[in-house]
Structure 1
Amino acid sequence: MTTFILDVLQDLKKNQTNLSEVTFVLPSKRAGVFLKDQLPQVLEKTLFAPRIVSIEEFVEEISQLKSISNTELLFEFYNSYLQISKGDEIDTFEAFSKWAQILLQDFNEIDRYVIAQEHIFDYLAAIEDLKHWSLEEPKTEFVKNYLAFWNKLFDYYKHFTKHLIKNNLGYQGLIYREAASKIASYIEKNTKTQHVFLGFNALNTAEEIIIQALLEHHLAKIYWDIDRVFLENKLHDAALFTRQHKNNWNFFNTNPFQWITDNYSNPKNISVYGIPKNIGQAKYIGTLLNDLQKENPGLENTAVVLGDENLLIPVLNAIPNTIDALNITMGFPLKSIPLASLFDALFNLHKSNSKSFYFKDLIKIISHQYVRPLFYVDDVDYAAILIETIDTNNLVYLSNSRLKKIAEKSSDVLELLFSNWNASVDQALHNCSNLILAIKKCFDNNTESNLLSLEYLFRFNELFNALTSLNATHKHINDISTLYSVYKELLSSESLDFQGEPLQGLQVMGMLESRVLDFETIIISSVNEGVLPSGKSNNSFIPFDVKIENKLPTYKEKDAVYTYHFYRLLQRAKNVFILYNTEADVLTGGEKSRFITQLELEGIHDLKQHIIAPQVPIIEQKLIVVKKTPELGLALAQLAKEGFSPSSLTNYMRNPIDFYYQKILKIRDHNDVEETVAANTLGTVVHNTLEDFYKPLENSFITIDIVNALRPKIETRVSYHFKKEFKEGDITKGKNLIISEIAKRYVSNFLDLEIKSLKAGNKIKIIAIEADNNILIDIPELDFPVRLRGKVDRVDECNGIIRIIDYKTGKVDQNQVEIVNWEDITSDYKKFSKSFQILAYAYMMQQSSQLKLPIEAGIISFKNLSKGFLKFSKKESGSRSKNTLISEDTLSAFETELKELILEICNLNIDFTEKEV
């Protein structure tokens, strides 16, 4: 296929231009690689290669200023800011950086478009003055300071740019302005050098001055790449800038305009795909490439152009493994590298300047893939020991000294990660650099799997070296928070370059990297409003109307830039695949780009429109079924011999699979750190406190005086049990303080209930507290012994009636301890599990001959204490009457259901089947 670069070279050859003496100026370095590649196609003899430079390199050469990074500019600008601003008005570097970034962008635009600086800054100050009612007196201190800031903008600009020029430094706009002012001097020194500008579109004023000066002195040629369809349509933004240059440049009054082409109207296969979500687009690009490979195995002259560069990683993951030659023009952002998450976590941990560290932040760091190997000492994983100790002791906050006590042999790495970060910024940077070196030692065996990790470490080492150098030179970073801000600024602008085949196979690039290049097959992703084009965004101090008046670019011009790039890609292409997101996201997506609508309305090409829906397999939700094998039967027999507890049996009723996991496989929930006191911990504290109070009173009657004597002990015993159960968790503040007070209130309210009952004339004798029960159940159908075991919270005698009492810190209502049909007691967990438990306790105590029937059994609910003792009762169907006394008949009916439940558990023909939640 013919390309724009090849057309230019052939035209130069036709005009007998000596290419060795030509300086080619292109919009990007990337285009220079393709120009070098296509040079041999027009050469007939060996010659010295022409000079090829990007426009940025060219203007740097003319201006004799060196470009510096945005971060360095920020530091240099702060120097100027400090010298102009007065003491009370000075922002910290961190606060300064937030608005200075925007101001530097405005400086850049003003200089690139060679605007009179004093005029525009005075204009801005006058606008702000009007906004704040300049005639209104008296002005507040805030308004005075605000207006003073706007009045100083020109002073900031003058001082800053003067300082940069003095040191032969500059930002892009300043370099362009200086180059425009020095172009006459450059022409005088280079009277024989021919310059060829090709592929340009939107030129700033400085570029226009430079190029026109060279054209008028016959030292340059310029080749435009614009199609007739766009140029002749005055409403088409793809030719917005080219029309302006053609109409406004004096040079074109007497010289031909090169070139207007007719490539866009040639037949093209254009397919438009609407695909849900960004990841869907990435996956479909992989599908398209797979199909394209069948006709073009090497995918020569094929490019994937990413409208949204955040799609790079998903697209790379979707590219078929059969593609051998691949070139990625875009860099891999350093902020997406796994190592970035480690330093993010470290900075977030230390920027609060706390002497103790939150356990989740600690675990996140010591579990990080790059840090974990540092904790292996003598084949012992001290990171695992640290995590286990934190979980076991319920440590929510830890100091560095405590960490070193737990993992003494890892003190060196703990020192790097957690010590002295707030001592000084230099120390923090020193720790980061030493941490990188320590990690490097773990990857020094240069195996293929470690090469990428070593590359990551090298780039981050460079980044921290740059931070150290900047801090040493300028001394503006005073705390970890500011250091973190500068680190993030540097990180966002750095990338890891890919190595690939720059001229072979598939090309993956962003929209701007596609300038001047032509491909036969193009896949363009994210062609949505807000992405391509990017739409309205005004990250500037200069209002829209001021930009219009001063001929500065607005969002309309920026949209026109992307319109040109989009349509230029289509000009010489034969196969075009346009993808857009059909799903409405928070900020972008959902609406296809105006570019697609424009293609439809033009009527030049026949667009094939498709909506792609991902293939979603119908996955039937199958309940888990575990077949009972002879081996499982042996495990069940062993479990029966050890004994079933009422809670384990109700667990089976709730979900047999949970019973299988916990009782057969012995899988327990991980003992996580309990930041807020859990309900079961609260229950344990209340139970244990009441056990302490009532255990000494076994076999004796209680009185009001005895109960009142327990009150002063509430504080001590509750605190003791919290310390025992909640370990080193803090109950002195926040929710935990409230929960500890609730525990005390529960105990106090229980004692109130007891006194109320005694005052009503009830005689209460404590028979047993936390009574252990362990009985054998005779089940003839089973050839192994079956035990039932459990602890009863309290057994007492009230007015001659034995009561079995179970404490519940949660809320229980009377209807949860009532039953109509006996078969329901083992089938409906939600309704009857409480009834099952208290009857199981009654059954065990009766079978062990510890009490005589009839008795009562029930629950005292601490969240429903006003209802007192909630007695189990058997209701007759269709009748309101209920019997609260538990007799032989009651326990006999319960025994039948109990044995049936145990038989079901032990029956090898009934599998463990998950219940639907």
Structure 2
Amino acid sequence: MTTFIFDVLKDLQNNNSNLSELTFILPSKRAGLFLKHQLYKVSNQTIFSPTIISIEEFVEELSQLQTISNTELLFEFYSTYCQITKKEETDTFEVFSKWAQILLQDFNEIDRYLIPQENIFNYLIAIKEIENHHWSLEKNQTAFIKNYLSFWNKLHTYYTHFSKQLLNKKIGYQGLIYREAVENLELYIQNNSEKQHVFLGFNALNTCEETIIQELLKNNLAKIYWDIDTAFFNSANHDAGLFTRQHHQKWPYFKNNLFNWITNNYSTQKNISTFGIPKNIGQAKHIGSLLKRLQNENLNLQNTAVVLGDENLLIPVLNALPENIDALNITMGFPLKSIPLAWLFETLFYIHKTPSNSFYYKDVINVMSHQFIRPLFNIDQVDYASKIIETVDANNIIYLTADRLKEIAPYSVVIIDLLFSNWGKTIDLALQNCFQLILCIKNHLDDNKAANLLSLEYLFRFNELFNELSRLNTKYQHIKDVSTLFSIYKELLSSETLDFQGEPLQGLQIMGMLESRVLDFETVIISSVNEGVLPSGKSNNSFIPFDVKLENKLPTYKEKDAVYTYHFYRLLQRAKNIYILYNTEADVLTGGEKSRFITQLELEGIHNINHQIVAPQVPVIEASLQTIEKNESLLNNIINVSKKGFSPSSLTSYIRNPIDFYHQKILKIKEHDDVEETVAANTLGTVVHNTLEDFYKPLVGMFITVDIIKNLKSKIEEKVTFHFKNEYKEGDITKGKNLIVFEIAKRYVSNFLDLEIQDLKAGNQIKIVAIEANNEVVVDIPELNFPVKLVGKVDRVDEYNGITRIIDYKTGRVEQNQVEIVNWEELTTDYKKYSKSFQILAYAYMMHRMGDINLPVEAGIISFKNLSAGFLKFAKKDKSGNGAKKDFLITNETLENFKFELNQLILEICDPNIPFTEKEV
């Protein structure tokens, strides 16, 4: 295939142009590389390379001004703003930057299109006065109204002062450089009357570019080559030819000169396929699959481009490339904001932007767990990061100070100071902390430099970024606090990239849409061809209303869409194999349905489009329940557990799910104790249990009275507070949800004591027999040749009017039907219905075997969320006829039935032929 660049060079050679003496001007630097590479194909002898520059470089040369970054431009504008705004009306730099960036874009457009500045600003003021005439005529205007109208009146003043300030310093933004280039054009033409310029590959031109090119053409100092196809140029409605049609019609030069070129490449036969694929990752994976398939078909990688409509697909696409693609060139840089270090500094800025001496524990742990920070806490083979995290968890610390961190990790003082101290004092100190932190990380990585080359490259780029921040702050002194520093950091970070190294003319090309300008490829894969991405759709980041833009011939979203239409179709012009991918899942943030470009391709009828909806290949993984076979080692562990003793809760854990029992009792895996920001239910239960234990332990063996209980009520606040501090450690119970839980705990205890008083006043006699009684009995199971123990602690045993009661406290809600049973065999099979019955029967069985109680007894639960129901007694129900008889007394027969079910359950646990099998939840 031939390319546009080759055709231009061939035409120049055929017209006997001396290529070495020409100045080629292209839309981008990248296109210049390809042009230089094509020279040898048209020249049969050794020649000096011509001058090859981008349009930006050419205009900069004309203007004699130097381009500065958008961030520095913002600082320069703020200096102007402060000079001409009253001090009491001046916005902070952080607030200013939000609206100033939009205004700078408008200044840029006004200059690029040579709009008379005073005219457009006066026009805007008049519009605002008409829109808000009732404000401007109001006699007693508020400060807000005055500031609003004043802002619009000052726009021209801002522009005038700002442009003068930049011109005096010989610097400028793109629009000002373009305007100044036009001013200097006549002088340039006089001084370069023998110089020949070749403009190629241009499409949408601003007024400045049009003026410069037309003047050079008029003075016979230039040639211009367009790259437009007949299919687009001759169609009055096709946006791909919108700008070239306008240039052809309006430029006087083309009344007497040829319009080079209108080609006829688009209509040649092409293989065009469109693929609808769910999600961005699906597109990335499919690009990998396409390349693998094309490689098997002897694809020429030299002539293949992957064009990313959404440049965020870069990393997923790189990860999806076939392994045997060895030559690769990536035109876009890897965004610094995607590097792990960016997240680290963002977190640090976030936690320091509001000056504070204490830090939220999750932020502290996130910072210390970062891959670049964690190793710095490893001193003399002691992992102080783990020590800090363990201390935070164990003591339930919600907020930490730097001093507390130093207490826990005394040998990590330097790194703790860098991360958590002194940031709020001065901006210089905050930046110094960042530099020192980078140096600390570098020193650690230098220990194994060969393995950490990429990480060291990251550090170098971030060091450059902070050097730029430091330079800007030193030069302008506009950054007054960490919050503003954070905003500028994010502004700089958003435009910084880590450039890939590679041979630009070899291998597979991966590029963004704008990098594809002027270039031609035989095989093209274009991703993210969705509305809102290609084209990008309506966006109006401007103070200039749409109708004012139309009036002044400024570009709107329509022209922006036409630019992308041209780029899209130009990629297709000379290509033979075209693969267009779009996301089938509509996403309002990153694009909607398939692009109108695809619909237009289908409706044109020039090419047959092979359309496919591609679904990712998802392997069918059948859900299987985990099964643990009992080998000799596992059986020995079970024997050890049985010798130490099964508790009622561990047995009910087995009933609920044998795998849970295996994890907890055999493997000894404990759930991680997270920091409780809000008091957890189990902590509340522990506090209530421990408070009642303190109250009733001294009363064992005594008949309680109303006066005794009333006396206990006066101690509720003290005891509950004590136990909360004991359980909740350094967690705060003085505010928020925790205060509510604290009050609930007091209410639970108070309501329980009120229930006792109510019982006593009703004439009932209550004697405390035992509180938190430890029980341990050997279970007689003849089938097993090793001892089996049952252990457990009973919350309370008392005598109620002469009847012994075994009581278990529950802070959750329990109903009477949860402590009743019909069929004994269901006791060990249905956890949800009978786990509470199992527990209280186990306590009764143990106490009876130990001789601590005489049958019959009652056993049951007191539910603090259902106190009005009182003591919920265990009952055996016998269903007969239409009713059900309930037996609340636990007798020998009851315990014999329980013992049988208990033995069967333990035999199942110890049976080598019955594996631990997970239950479906």
**TM bin (shorter chain):** over 0.9
Q: Does the 8 Å CA contact 1:121/1:153 hold for their aligned counterparts?
A: yes
Counterpart selection for 1:914 from 883, 895, 918: 918
- Superposition map of 1:574-593 within 5 A: 574-593=576-595
Aligned positions of 1:423-822 closer than 5 A:
423-445=425-447, 447-822=449-824
Which residue number corresponds to residue 184 of structure 2?
Answer: 182
Q: Is the 8 A contact 1:640 1:786 kept in 2?
A: yes
Residue 305 of structure 1 deviates from its aligned partner by 0.2
Q: Deviations over 1:292-325 (max 9, x none)?
A: 1123355120000001111111111111110010
Separation of aligned partners in 2, 1:588 and 1:631? 56
1:717-747 superposed Cα distances (whole Å, 9 cap, x missing partner): 1111111111111111111111111111111
2:308·2:528 contact (CA, 8 Å) conserved in 1?
yes
Distance 2:446 2:53 in 1: 39
After superposition, give the CA deviation of every residue in 1:645-679 in whole Å (9 maximum; x if it has no partner). 00000001111000000000000011211111110
SS of match in other structure, 1:671: coil
Distance 1:717 1:587 in 2: 54
Native 8 Å contact 2:879 2:885 kept in 1: no
Unaligned runs of 5+ in 2: none
Determine which of 798, 820, 826 is the counterpart of 1:824. Answer: 826
Matches within 5 A, 1:836-847: 836-847=838-849
Given that residues 299 and 505 in structure 1 are in contact (C-alpha distance below 8 angstroms), is that contact kept between their aligned partners in structure 2?
Answer: yes
**Structure 2 counterpart SS, 1:30:** helix
Maintained 8 Å contact 2:532/2:592: no
Superposed CA deviations along residues 467-498 of structure 1, whole A, max 9, x for unmatched, are 00000111111111000000000000111111
Deviates more, 1:214-223 or 1:581-590: 581-590
Does the CA-based 8 Å contact 2:240-2:569 persist in structure 1?
Answer: yes
2:726, 2:249 → 1: CA distance?
86
Query: Contact 1:582–1:589 (CA<8 Å) still a contact in 2?
Result: no
Specify the alignment match of 1:898 in structure 2. 902
Native 8 Å contact 2:240 2:563 kept in 1: yes
Identity %: 70
Q: Tell me by how many angstroms 1:195 deviates.
A: 0.5
- How far apart in 2 are the matches of 1:598 and 1:870? 75
Q: Give 1:131's aligned amino acid.
A: E
CA-to-partner distance for each residue in 1:600-647, whole Å, 9 max, x for gaps?
111111111111111111111101111111211111111101000000
Shift of 1:588: 3.7
Indicate the residue corresponding to 2:29 in structure 1.
29
Q: Give the Å deviation of 1:446.
A: 5.8
Q: 1:93 — aligned with what? A: 93
Query: What per-residue deviation string (whole Å, max 9, x for no partner) do you get for residues 121-169 of structure 1?
Result: 1111221222222464233331221011011011101111110000000
- Equivalents in 1 of 2:447, 2:385: separation in Å? 23
CA-based RMSD of the aligned residues comes to 0.9
Q: Which residue of 1 aligns with 2:265?
A: 263
User: Corresponding residue for 2:212?
Assistant: 210
CA offsets per residue over residues 870-916 of structure 1, 9 Å max, x none?
11111112433211111111111111111111111111111101111
Distance 1:448 1:506, change over 3 A: farther
Structure-to-structure mapping, 1:9-48, within 5 angstroms = 9-48=9-48
- Once residues 298 and 825 of structure 1 are traced to their aligned partners in structure 2, the CA distance between those partners, rounded to angstroms, is 72
Aligned residues: 917
Q: Secondary structure of the equivalent of 2:721?
A: helix
What one-letter code is carried by the residue in structure 2 that aligns with 1:115?
Answer: I
CA contact (8 A) 1:132 1:143 kept: no
Q: Does 2:165 match 1:166?
A: no
Kept in 2, the 8 Å contact 1:433–1:464? The answer is yes
Amino acid paired to 2:24: F
Q: Is the contact between residue 298 and residue 323 of structure 1 (CA under 8 Å) also seen in structure 2?
A: no
Q: Distance in 1 between matches of 2:481 and 2:69?
A: 22
**CA positional deviation for 1:501:** 1.8
> Partner of 1:623: helix, strand, or coil?
coil
Matched residue, 1:52: 52
Name the SS for the 2:739 alignment partner: helix
Q: Name the SS for the 2:793 alignment partner.
A: strand
Worse-superposed segment, 849-858 or 290-299: 290-299
CA deviation vs aligned residue, 1:74-127 (integer Å, no higher than 9, x gap) = 000001111111122111000000011111111111110010111111111221
- The residue type equivalent to 2:791 in the other structure is R
Q: Identify which of 865, 873, 885 aligns with 1:863.
A: 865
Structure 2 CA distance for aligned equivalents of residues 916 and 751 of structure 1:
42
Structure 1 runs not aligned, ≥5 long? none
On the 8 A contact 1:701/1:766 being kept in 2, the answer is yes
Distance 1:740 1:136 in 2: 59
Deviation of the 1:356 alpha carbon: 0.2
CA distance in 1, matches of 2:378, 2:891: 64
Task: Note closer, same or farther for the CA distance 1:557–1:568 as it changes in structure 2 (3 Å cut).
Answer: same
Structure 1 residue matching 2:799: 3-state secondary structure: strand
What's the CA shift for 1:402? 0.5
**Alignment match, 2:61:** 61
Partner SS state of residue 876, structure 1:
strand
Match of 1:880, SS? strand
Residue 338 of structure 2 is aligned to residue 336 of structure 1: yes
- In structure 2, the residue corresponding to 1:783 is in which secondary structure? coil
Equivalent residue number for residue 138 of structure 2: 137
Q: Distance in 1 between matches of 2:645 and 2:561?
A: 76
Alpha-carbon distance in 1 for matches of 2:258, 2:892: 114
Going from structure 1 to structure 2, the CA distance change for 1:446 and 1:28 (only over 3 Å counts) comes to farther
More deviation, 502-511/609-618: 609-618
Matches of 2:620 and 2:804 in 1, distance apart? Answer: 58
The structural deviation recorded for 1:393 is 1.1
1:246 is paired with a residue whose SS is: helix
* Among 306, 309, 312, the residue aligned to 2:311: 309
Aligned letter for 1:903?
L
- Which SS does the other structure have where 2:903 is aligned? helix
Give the match's secondary structure for 1:353.
coil
Deviates more, 1:66-75 or 1:12-21: 12-21
Structure 2 residue corresponding to 1:852, chosen from 851, 854, 860: 854
Query: Is the 1:302–1:521 contact (alpha carbons within 8 Å) kept by the matching residues of 2?
Result: yes
SS in 2 for 1:700: coil
1:200 to partner: Cα distance? 0.2
**8 Å Cα contact 1:391-1:672 kept in structure 2:** yes
Q: Is the 8 A contact 1:292 1:299 kept in 2?
A: no
Alpha-carbon distance, 1:590 to partner: 4.5
CA 522–120 in structure 1, closer or farther in 2 if over 3 Å, else same: same
The answer as to 2:12 corresponding to 1:8 is no
Alpha-carbon distance between aligned partners in 2 of 1:55 and 1:766, rounded to the nearest angstrom = 95
Partner of 1:233: 235
